[in-house]
Amino acid sequence: MMLRMVQWLVIAALLGSSVHARPAVTIGSKAFAESWVLGDALAALVRQTGRADVEHRKNLGGTEIVYQALQSGGIDVYPEYTGTIAEVLMKSSGRPSLAEMRAFLKPRGIGISDPLGFNDGYALAVMPATQKRYGLTKLSDLARHPDLRLALSHEFIGRKDGYPGLARAYGLRMTDVRGIQHDLAYGALASGQADVMDVYTTDAQIAKLGLKVLEDDRGFFPRYDAVLLYRLDLPRRAPEAFAAMQRLSGRVNEAAMIRANAMVVLQKKPSEQAAAALLRDALGAGQDAGSAQAPSALQVIPWNVLTHMELVVVSLLAAIVVGVPLGILAASSRLMANLTLSVTGLLQTIPSLALLALLIAVFHRIGLVPSLVALFLYSLLPIVRNTYTGLANIPPTLSEAAEALGLPRMAQLLRVRLPMASPSIAAGIKTSAVINVGTATLAALIGAGGLGNPILQGIALRDNALILQGAIPVAVLALLVQGGFDLLDRVWIPRGLRLRG
């Protein structure tokens, strides 16, 4: 049985590596529509030069993850904003110039393009009714209403140029400030569960919901001019592709960006289509998105399911291969038990985003490898613990009986102890597998795809149908995995242990 598992593992690993060959130019984007559209536009520009080996790793997550991916070479270029570079990357409290930013990033192997032309800065917005009731037009008006409920994105709350600085600049003493996933904040405002949210100035939802943007009357918010961050080796490696992408510099204004954003967010058009529209706006007629035709849901779902299963199967097999021996080790002595169980338990407490960011830094790449490692680590605990428990709960008289028969240690383990522990081990593997199916949705955060993709995109677009495209297959998969393992119990749990007296 062990041998067969190893075979599966090898086959699965080969399958994984063959599917994920690396193209010459890899474009990244963050987890929001504007970033996707810009990424798609860049990909289209490269394709127009005749290159086909360009890939857009869409929806990679927040600044840390995308920048990490750029530095490690997982991607070659991605759209970024000057304000973010100053605050998040340079950790600067001032307002550095573009030249200062270039000087900062150059030793890190990163270059900055000329600004694309639009500012996507922070602003605070309220519903029209709120504006009327409180007479709000400027940010300084907020100071008079400390009881207004703020629903702000986590990044905005954490950044010095976000809420903390804003509160200081305007003397705000708001009593109810909570962090919320940005795309969920619109719903919170629309349904009256919050009063104020942070928005971006090119946000398509501003027009849709009739949100009123509060005037930054003290000029607090820095500019967020869109630029491209690229690896300095890219112009050498792919000069014509790099030149093509630079055509966008100075050509995209706010109005064009808002239109493109609205196509994706409000009209539910594929981002590739919005990118084509953006290119037409920016560069004139004759632009199309190249060969990138948005695939339909029917094509995407099976592919997502397949990728998802690849993530689950490979990480689970690895967790079995490592976890069962670790459980055996844990059962060998009290010291080992404490050591093994606390280390695997500790792994479980690392927040998934932190673990993913850490693994990207360790492996210098995004996508499949760090995702598999994260899932593998999260799968370990139930397997190790149940293997240990199963072995530890064998009646001592029976362990002694095996010893008294003159069985060698290995035979005691393989013929007596492991089979007797098999119901517990099988339950541990089943638990890991089911949890793993759910956790694997996180892999989409760092570009490994799977059923997390439609879920994340659906959240970003507030498109419930898209969320369900991911959530339903995940639920079905979890049930199938549960059922499959129930059947497998008949294979790997000896009959004598399944009988009732």
Partner 1 sequence: MRIALNNVSKTFDGKTALAPTSLEVPPNRTLVLIGPSGCGKSTLLRLVMGLIGPDAGAVTFDGVPMTPKTSMELRRRLGYVIQDGGLFPHLTAEGNVTLVARLLRWDDLRIRARLSELCALTRLDPQLLDRYPIQLSGGQRQRVGLMRALMLDPEALLMDEPLGALDPVIRSGLQEDLKAIFQRLRKTVVFVTHDMGEAGYLGDEIVLMREGHIIQRGAAQNLLESPAEPFVTEFIRAQRPLWTGEREAAG
- Does residue 406 bind partner 1 (CB under 8 A)? yes
* Cα separation, 394 vs 470, whole angstroms: 42
Cβ(232)–Cβ(109) under 8 Å? yes
Residues 6+ apart with CB under 8 A from 246: 113, 114, 228
Residues paired with residue 294 on neighbouring β-strands, in sequence order: none
Least spacing, CB of residue 16 vs partner 1, in Å: 35
Per CB under 8 A, 416 contacts partner 1: yes
Where is 295: in which H helix or E strand? none
Structure tokens belonging to residue 238: 């792919």
Token pair of 452 as six digits: 């997390």
Residue with tokens 């900055």: 112
CB of 21 to partner 1, least distance (A): 46
Contact string (CB under 8 A) for partner 1, positions 439-478, x = contact: ----------------------------------------
Cα–Cα distance for residue pair 347/354, rounded to 1 Å: 11
Q: Indicate whether 397 belongs to the interface with partner 1 (CB under 8 A).
A: yes
408 binds partner 1 (CB under 8 A): yes
**According to the binding rule CB under 8 A, does residue 401 interact with partner 1?**
yes
Complex with partner 1: residue 299 or 332, whichever CB lies closer? 332
Per CB under 8 A, the segment of 164-172, 376-384, 400-408, 470-478 that binds partner 1 is: 400-408
Q: Per rule CB under 8 A, is residue 420 in the interface with partner 1?
A: yes
415: contact with partner 1 by CB under 8 A: yes
- Binding piece for partner 1, criterion CB under 8 A, among 5-13, 22-30, 219-227, 492-500: 492-500
Return all residues near 192 (Cβ < 8 A) that are at least 6 apart: 127
Residue found under tokens 């994920």: 20
Is the distance from CB of 54 to CB of 23 less than 8 angstroms?
A: yes
From the CB of 483, what's the least distance to partner 1, in Å?
Answer: 24
Q: Using the minimum distance from each CB to partner 1, give the nearer residue, 355 or 407.
A: 407
Closest C-alpha to 63, from 369, 364, 445, 450: 445
**CB-based contact 7:313 (threshold 8 Å):** no
Q: Examine residue 422 and tell whether it contacts partner 1 (CB under 8 A).
A: yes
CB-based contacts of 322, cutoff 8 Å, min separation 6: 376, 380
Q: And the tokens for 2? A: 């062990």
> Candidates 101-109, 256-264, 415-423, 440-448 — which segment interacts with partner 1 by CB under 8 A?
415-423
The piece of 232-240, 270-278, 355-363, 397-405 that touches partner 1 (CB under 8 A) is 397-405
Spatial separation of the C-alpha atoms in residues 128 and 340, rounded to whole Å: 57
- With tokens 């080996």, the residue in question is 53
Among 343, 398, 472, 480, binds partner 1 (CB under 8 A): 398
- Least distance from C-beta 389 to partner 1, angstroms? 17
- Tell me the C-alpha distance between 312 and 432, whole Å: 10
Taking the complex as a whole, the smallest distance from the CB of residue 382 to partner 1 amounts, in Å, to: 22
Residue 3 engages partner 1 in binding (rule: CB under 8 A): no
Contact with partner 1 (CB under 8 A): which of 10, 103, 129, 411? Answer: 411
Q: Which is nearer to partner 1, 176 or 400 (CB)?
A: 400
User: Contact at 8 Å (CB) between 196 and 126?
Assistant: yes
User: Which of 284, 286, 351, 501: binder of partner 1 (CB under 8 A)?
Assistant: 501
Pick from 105, 383, 402, 456: which binds partner 1 (CB under 8 A)?
402
**Least distance CB 418 / partner 1 (angstroms):** 10
* Residue at 246: amino acid letter: Q
Binding-site size for partner 1 (CB under 8 A) equals 24
405 is a contact residue toward partner 1 (CB under 8 A): yes
Please tell me whether residue 404 binds partner 1 under the rule CB under 8 A.
yes
Single-letter amino acid, residue 387? T
Could you say whether residue 500 binds partner 1 (CB under 8 A)?
yes
Distance CA 299, CA 127 (A): 39
Asked whether the beta carbons of 376 and 318 are under 8 A apart, the reply is yes
Whichever of 352 and 412 has its CB closer to partner 1, that residue is 412
- Report whether 174 contacts 148 (CB < 8 A): yes
Q: Counting contacts by CB under 8 A, is residue 245 touching partner 1?
A: no
Residue ranges in contact with partner 1 by CB under 8 A? 397-398, 400-408, 411, 415-416, 419-420, 422, 494-497, 499-501
